[in-house]
Amino acid sequence: MRANERWSMDFVSDCTESGQAVRVLNIVDDHTRESLAVEVDTSLAAGRVLRALEQTVEQRGKPTAIVCDNGPEFRARALQAWGEQRNITLAFIEPGKPIQNAFVESFNGRMRDECLNANWFLNVGDARRKILAWRQDYNEQRPHSALGYRTPCEYAASLRADFNPETYIRNGT
């Protein structure tokens, strides 16, 4: 597996102090473990998922596949058409098998333990600020054992530094 080859996406939920729902869409690069995108709002329908994906593709380039569960936002016709138009496979896990989406499930677990459970959100804006600050720390400050004790950003940067386009083209990959 290579960086930007396969992404995973999923939702995690919480609430504000007043009980207002907070929904978070997470998109993770399976190889680098980078959090590529986080969307935070009270509701995140298929249109918002599409916008987040489109922005991420513009910034990062397109993956070969995106792994996700069978939620209605991911099964929407618009998302199916988006993937087909861009030649991006939407790989749906089997119902009730979150282990098949292990990278984003692990990310969601860390977010839950270290951010959502550790903070009291006054409102959606407060949740967004705190979650995005946690994401930055996750990407830029926290070393991961699976990445040789480098942060996701350091690991991704090392892959770019080691990248040799001639070898890449010659090997046909």
Chain segment 20-65, per-residue pLDDT in tens: 999 999 999 999 999 999 999 999 999 999 999 999 999 999 999 9
pLDDT digits (tens, 9 = 90+) for 79-126: 999 999 999 999 999 999 999 999 999 999 999 999 999 999 999 999
Widest CA span in the chain: 58
What domains sit in the chain, N to C, each tagged with a CATH number? 1-93+116-125 (3.30.420.10), 137-173 (no CATH)
Map residue 117 onto helix, strand or coil: coil
30-34, 127-131, 157-161: lowest mean pLDDT where? Answer: 157-161
pLDDT at position 163 is 59
Q: How far apart are CA 30 and CA 87, in angstroms?
A: 19
Cβ atoms of residues 75 and 66 within 8 Å? no
Cα angle 153-158-162, degrees, rounded to a multiple of 5: 150
What is the CB neighbour count within 10 angstroms for residue 15? 15
Map residue 22 onto helix, strand or coil: strand
Element (H, E) at 86: helix 77-86
Residues 6+ apart with CB under 8 A from 112: 12
Element (H, E) at 83: helix 77-86
Average pLDDT of the segment spanning 2-9: 96
- Sheet with 89-92, strands from edge to edge, namely 35-41, 21-29, 6-15, 65-68, 89-92
pLDDT at position 115 is 98
Of 46, 38, 43, 67, residue with least CA distance to 130:
38
The pTM for the full model equals 0.92
Cα of first residue to Cα of last residue in the chain, in angstroms, is 11
